[in-house]
């Protein structure tokens, strides 16, 4: 069994992070354990937090919010065997759909500057540079940052070591900023978007991929718990891998944008593998495609 982190502070949440609605507008969805719950959580031992949903923007979050005393407990150094050869190769198609969409929204001109937030090994930076952007990035993990430069050939002056909270760039510097799949791991996503949007040039775009609060399979899992008479839910994972702290609705971004000066320029719900039995997987995927209930929500934001 996965070894859970033992030391958390539990912070009360009095406002929806994305739209600012007060607790009276939040509903209890159920309880979430500090480890994978499986199909029959009645047999699991652990501690719980409450999973809430904002009625105004459908953001899903924990209240109280567990915050580890040391973030390294969540995102520590990966073991040496993590670094297998295939992690260091970049396929031709890597990040291409995102680059194509960015170029369409931007009215692309060669030499526009791009920024990758949480660049990892720098693969998206390599793809962006190849397609005509001047690619920059930053990465909070030392081992990733080091290998991006040493093994992937990312220029050291283009990739900084640090987190969104610590780093600063000149205002209006970038045309294309990508969060990739980072926002759901941050404790204050609204502040993160506000900070990144200050670095955005006029007409620039921000790309974000997050877990969708409308995900069909998530609802089915919760229904299965309900049938067992349990109030567990499968949403988010604030105390175990992959440490998703939020699930977002399109409204979360529309309402946060109204407060913070940006608008949603484009969005899409992506359907991913369901890991359900082969008999029902195609049916679920079709349903998700038709009803916009796929696992991932992609949004493109523009300053207004
Ligand atoms: Zn909200």
The tokens for 201 are 């040039």
Class of residue 304 by CB neighbours under 10 A (exposed 0-12, middle 13-18, buried 19+): exposed
Q: Identify the pLDDT of residue 1.
A: 45
Q: What is the pTM of this model?
A: 0.93
- Give me the phi and psi of 97, to 5 degrees please: -60, -40
Q: How far is the CA of 228 from the centre of ligand 1 (A)?
A: 30
Q: Which residues contact 112 (CB under 8 A, 6 or more apart)?
A: 106, 132, 133, 134, 175, 176
The tokens for 191 are 């502040």
Q: How far is the CA of 298 from the centre of ligand 1 (A)?
A: 18
Neighbours of ion ligand 1 (CB under 5 A): 16, 19, 21, 54, 56-57, 59
- How many other CB atoms are found less than 10 A from the CB of residue 254? 17
Q: How far is the CA of 118 from the centre of ligand 1 (A)?
A: 25
| 167 neighbors 160 (Cβ within 8 angstroms) | yes
Q: How far is the CA of 252 from the centre of ligand 1 (A)?
A: 6
pLDDT block averages, 10 residues each, the chain of length 304: 70 98 98 94 94 98 94 74 80 96 97 96 97 97 93 96 95 97 96 98 97 93 96 96 96 97 96 80 88 93 94
| 11 neighbors 67 (Cβ within 8 angstroms) | yes
Q: How far is the CA of 67 from the centre of ligand 1 (A)?
A: 20
Q: How far is the CA of 191 from the centre of ligand 1 (A)?
A: 14
Q: How far is the CA of 248 from the centre of ligand 1 (A)?
A: 9
Q: How far is the CA of 60 from the centre of ligand 1 (A)?
A: 8
Q: How far is the CA of 120 from the centre of ligand 1 (A)?
A: 30
Q: How far is the CA of 16 from the centre of ligand 1 (A)?
A: 5
Q: How far is the CA of 125 from the centre of ligand 1 (A)?
A: 33
Taken in order 237, 297, 54, 257, the sign of the CA dihedral is positive
| 9 neighbors 73 (Cβ within 8 angstroms) | no
Q: How far is the CA of 278 from the centre of ligand 1 (A)?
A: 36
User: Where does CATH 3.40.50.150 sit in the chain?
Assistant: 93-212+251-303
Q: How far is the CA of 236 from the centre of ligand 1 (A)?
A: 16
> For domain 93-212+251-303, which CATH number applies: 3.90.110.10, 3.40.50.12780, 3.40.50.300, 3.40.50.150?
3.40.50.150
Q: Identify the pLDDT of residue 71.
A: 78
Q: DSSP code of 157?
A: T
The tokens for 287 are 């349903």
Q: How far is the CA of 194 from the centre of ligand 1 (A)?
A: 16
Q: How far is the CA of 193 from the centre of ligand 1 (A)?
A: 15
Q: How many CA atoms lie within 13 A of 150 on its CB side?
A: 6
Q: How far is the CA of 54 from the centre of ligand 1 (A)?
A: 5
């Amino acid at each position: 069994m996965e070894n859970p982190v033992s030391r958390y502070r539990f912070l009360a949440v009095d406002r929806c992070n994305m739209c600012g609605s007060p607790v009276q507008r939040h509903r209890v969805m159920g309880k979430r354990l500090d480890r994978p719950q499986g199909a029959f959580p009645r047999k699991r031992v652990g501690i719980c937090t409450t999973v809430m949903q904002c009625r105004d923007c459908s953001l899903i979050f924990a209240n109280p919010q567990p915050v580890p005393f040391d973030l390294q407990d969540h995102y520590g150094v990966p073991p040496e065997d993590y670094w297998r050869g295939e992690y260091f190769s970049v396929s031709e198609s890597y990040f291409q759909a995102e680059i194509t969409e960015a170029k369409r929204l931007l009215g692309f001109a060669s030499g526009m500057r791009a920024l990758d937030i949480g660049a990892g090994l720098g693969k998206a930076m390599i793809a962006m540079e190849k397609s005509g952007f001047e690619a920059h990035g930053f990465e909070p993990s030392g081992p990733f940052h080091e290998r991006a430069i040493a093994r992937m050939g990312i220029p050291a002056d283009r990739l900084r070591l640090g987190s969104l909270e610590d780093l600063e760039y000149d205002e209006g510097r970038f045309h294309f900023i990508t969060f990739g799949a980072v926002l759901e791991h941050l404790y204050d996503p609204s502040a993160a978007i506000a900070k990144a949007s200050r670095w955005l040039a006029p007409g620039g775009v921000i790309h974000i991929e997050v877990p969708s609060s409308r995900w069909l399979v998530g609802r089915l899992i919760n229904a299965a718990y309900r049938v067992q008479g349990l109030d567990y839910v499968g949403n988010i994972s604030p105390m175990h891998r992959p440490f998703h702290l939020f699930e977002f609705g399109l409204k979360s971004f529309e309402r946060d944008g109204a407060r913070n000066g940006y608008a949603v320029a484009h969005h899409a719900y992506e359907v991913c593998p369901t890991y359900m039995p082969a008999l029902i997987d195609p049916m679920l995927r079709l349903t998700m495609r038709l009803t916009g209930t796929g696992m991932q929500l992609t949004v493109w934001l523009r300053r207004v």
